[in-house]
Structure 1
């Protein structure tokens, strides 16, 4: 009974003291807080073997982040990452929702809002194909000489990438080999020109040989 009486004694004051302590704690913890919006490009990981990401619906994710003002002022874009896990992706269009588990933040920084809340991703199957190499020759030899033949090594290369893109490619050109004014056979190491193609190539170096001979009189 004494314990009960002790507990009930000045109960109103005790409750007021607890409430005051709570208000003070909220005031102290919120003091100096700052909130900003920052745009972060999403990073896609764990794309299944045999699939290629063709497109996605957003370039950046807008995050409202909150924390102590001194921490917010010193924050850098590289401190924050937004990951989209594609490990369960299948061919076609998929929707991937973004929550706090997808976001890497510095210590003591929190996310209060994410826009948009999901990303649409389109995937296609990967395709591998062997195509011919087409040497490109520019210029003309010295007067009285001509190009008898042009050889390229290797004659074919393996490419891979998005199926719809790889299917369009039947051959790949080399960088130009300039034979202007030459009067003898000339060999040069050249790169393959894939600048306008959305593909990958396993071998990008080839050897082109222009056999130049004199015109018989």
Structure 2
């Protein structure tokens, strides 16, 4: 009937108006999602090929704009893990996204990690020195306190570590001894950590370089008013001392040799 048609049209118009009022523009974004391991045994550690997941999400643009990478994570329960390779298949349901946001795709869809025994090892600390001291000076001794560090990490990695270097210490142009606190350089071993304080006090002892130098020096006389002849009139001497001091002596005629002729006729 005519009334029924009007009722249907009115209902459709109402639904259209409601839809327009509540419509939100849909958008797609790709976010990086870190993988987090939970409940792994203290004596075990997950190593190798731990990726950052890339998830393609779809939802209202306003919601997606407020969504940060750090808000999302992919948690993996390793409470039953044992040493050896472990295959992990990604599940969309494990990523908790806000209401009206859906996960379209995750890359990679799976990955493999290795579970290893966590061990400890004590190794010496080696100071990493950068540049050279001032000319004429040398580094006579380098000491780190503490001199050893206890590391913890996967057995396969610690087996290959015989020492740990510090972050670089700049000694360029030094003329005196210094002490400096620096960190251990473990950046190239992300699965290895230092147990305890990772700061080390490094003492760098700087001294003048000691050298030997031969000088040809004229022989002079003193204590006589008579005419005299000295044969030979020059002498070669070997001196030993700080490099810069010897250079100055040679340049400024700082070394003189005298023959005392007092009482000689």
Q: TM-score, normalised by structure 1?
A: 0.64
Q: Which residue of 1 aligns with 2:254?
A: none
Check the 8 A contact 2:29/2:64 in 1, yes or no.
no
Change (3 A) 1:142 1:116: closer
SS at match of 1:165: helix
Query: Based on CA coordinates, which of the two structures has the bigger radius of gyration?
Result: 2
The alignment of Structure 1 onto Structure 2 pairs a total of residues equal to: 193
Q: Which residue of 1 aligns with 2:141?
A: 149
> Which residue does the alignment assign to 1:131?
123
Gaps of 5+ in 1: 1-23
Q: Is the 8 A contact 2:36 2:74 kept in 1?
A: yes
Structure 1 residue 205 corresponds to structure 2 residue 205: no
Q: Whose relative contact order is higher, 1 or 2, with alpha carbons under 8 Å and at least 6 apart?
A: 1
Q: Does 1:121 align with 2:129?
A: no
5+ unaligned residues in a row in structure 2: which ranges?
1-14, 211-239, 242-265
Relative distance call for 1:173 and 1:77 in structure 2 (3 A) is closer
Contact 2:35 2:50 in 1 (8 A): no
Alpha-carbon distance, 1:157 to partner: 0.8
How far apart are residue 159 of structure 1 and its match? 1.5
Distance 1:80 1:186 in 2: 46
Q: Any idea what the Cα deviations from partners look like across 1:93-136, whole Å, max 9, x if unmatched?
A: 22233334311010233446656554332222222111101234
User: 1:178 aligned to 164, 171, 186, which one?
Assistant: 171
- Please say if 1:159 is aligned against 2:154: no
Distance 1:37 1:92, change over 3 A: farther
Aligned-residue Cα RMSD (Å) equals 4.0
Structure 1, residues 17-73: CA drift from partner, whole Å, max 9, x if none? xxxxxxx9xxx7xx878474645434222051222222347542444646xx55666
